[in-house]
Amino acid sequence: MQDLWRLSAAEVAALVRTKKVSARQAATAALARLDSVNPKINAVVDHRPQDVLAQADAVDAAIARGEDAGPLAGVPVTVKVNIDQQGYATTNGLKLQRDVIAATNSPVIDNLRKAGAVILGRTNCPAFSYRWFTTNLIHGDTKNPRDLSITPGGSSGGAGAAVAAGIGHIAHGTDIAGSIRYPAYACGVHGLRPTMGRVAAFNAALPERTIGPQISAVSGPLARTIGDLRMALAAMSARDVRDPWWVPAPLEGPPRAKRAALCLRPDGLEIVPEVAAAVADAGKRLERAGWMVEEIQNTPPLREAAELQTKLWLGDSYEAQLAAAEREGDPGALACLRGNRDKVHPFDAAASAPSRTRRATLTREWQLLFESYAVLLMPVSGELPFPDGLDRRDEKSFARVWRAQMPQIGIPFMGLPGLTVSTGLVGRIPVGVQVVSGRYREDLCLLAGEAIEAAGTPASPVDPAG
């Protein structure tokens, strides 16, 4: 079976568990696909074939002993280069961290391995994981396999590009302001930002993070099917005592009426016609699947949430972040920090207290919205995926990018889950919709996502554009 890499994670795991194919065969097919297409897109920046095959052989040995190899038995998965994997550098796209070799695995790696997954390789991200574009000075540029002229997204751009190109069946990403949801959108796949506290994470190789990232940054999956996201979330969300924020919340919450809100222009977001059409189309797909969809003119405050999230993310320890970016010399990271300075600096204790106080109020207002609606449909971005490098062209372009990304930046401030569902293409350019729900209700996001997915053309691996 030469095209194992084309299958879904669910299909591969079923074949491996029933011994119709071996985990080694699945790993060999994945490595061959990586060798074939990765040179064109630079999605995976570190992989060791012998390590991959050894992991696969361990899965096959467990099955031979009659053991349960796990729900992701033999499934090749990529992980982002900003989490600890024992023996590998946790670079986060930085020359400064090329020698930061992890002595232990992140809980994300351990939980994927416990579920039977085979870690195929490590995917690229922008320096410091700051941008919605994926370039850095240590690993180089990642390209979008659907169209080399547009961004693959960021910061998990390597993850999005890899899974879109058939390099692995599931990709791990992280999200503090859209870094899972935007690469999924840009690469035409699906991506789930879980609720803060759902997926345990910890990098022992790096210093403890400041409070802003602690309460808003998450790890989550990207995949070509919603079903694969569901499997990946179940695996990644297993308990790990090393993360004090982890919450033992059930993966399935109480049943809810299939009632969805649809908001085209939250907080006055400017959107292009193609984005409006995609969100409206997703609403029609839900209606055909038996959901009641009600268009609302506005949401609880989202622009304010995005502004406060930016402050928590970039303002906390701003001077230290800027000094590190200057040492690194990465143009994109410097553009991000310098371009946002007036919004986020200074950020001392007196300035940060109102942000944290306001967080409780806004979270409450959003939770009340989800008492009336199971999910909310809204844009991922105000625009189609950007031309690559748009944020570095000039000040006007930088402002345009940040303005369009408001729906992604605001959601993490409340710790909410958000799902990007790819809904189609505009020419060769992907488009999709964002599905949001209440805290720990990823199940509702996925339920709606499956209905939207089922009414369209499924995402499938693509050969990189010429």
Q: Kindly write down the DSSP assignment for every residue of 70-114, as one continuous string.
A: -TTTT-EEEEETTS--TTSB--TT-GGGTT-B-SS--HHHHHHHH
From 80, 143, 258, 311, the catalytic residue: 80
Residue at 286: amino acid letter = L
Amino acid at 417: P
- Separation between Cα atoms, residue 437 and residue 417, nearest integer Å: 6
| Rounded Cα–Cα distance for residues 466 and 456 (Å) | 26
DSSP secondary structure string for all residues of 407-429: HHHHGGGGT--EEEEEEEEETTE
DSSP string, 143-212: --TT-TTB---SSSHHHHHHHHTTSSSEEEEEESSSTTHHHHHHHTSEEEEPPTTSS----TTSPPPPHH
Amino acid at 280: A
Q: What is the DSSP letter of 321?
A: H
* Catalytic residue selected from 155, 156, 219, 437: 155
Which of these is catalytic: 179, 216, 355, 437? 179
Q: Is 138 helix (H, G, I), strand (E, B) or coil?
A: coil
- Distance (Å, rounded) from C-alpha 269 to C-alpha 231? 33
138, amino acid identity:
I
Q: Which residues pair with 193 in a beta bridge?
A: 418
**In the Cβ-directed half-sphere of 297, how many Cα atoms lie within 13 Å?**
0
Nearest partner of 221 among 183, 166, 273, judged by Cα: 183
User: Do the Cβ atoms of 158 and 44 come closer than 8 Å?
Assistant: yes
- Is 80 part of the annotated catalytic residue set? yes
Residue pointed to by tokens 């416990």? 114
Taking every pair of C-alpha atoms in the chain, what is the biggest distance, in angstroms? 62
Q: Any residues with CB less than 8 A from the CB of 45 and at least 6 apart, and which? A: 81, 121, 122, 123, 124, 139, 140, 158
Q: How is 384-404 classified by DSSP, letter by letter?
A: SSPBTTGGGT-HHHHHHHHHH
Mark whether 343 is an active-site residue: no
- Active-site positions read 80, 155, 179
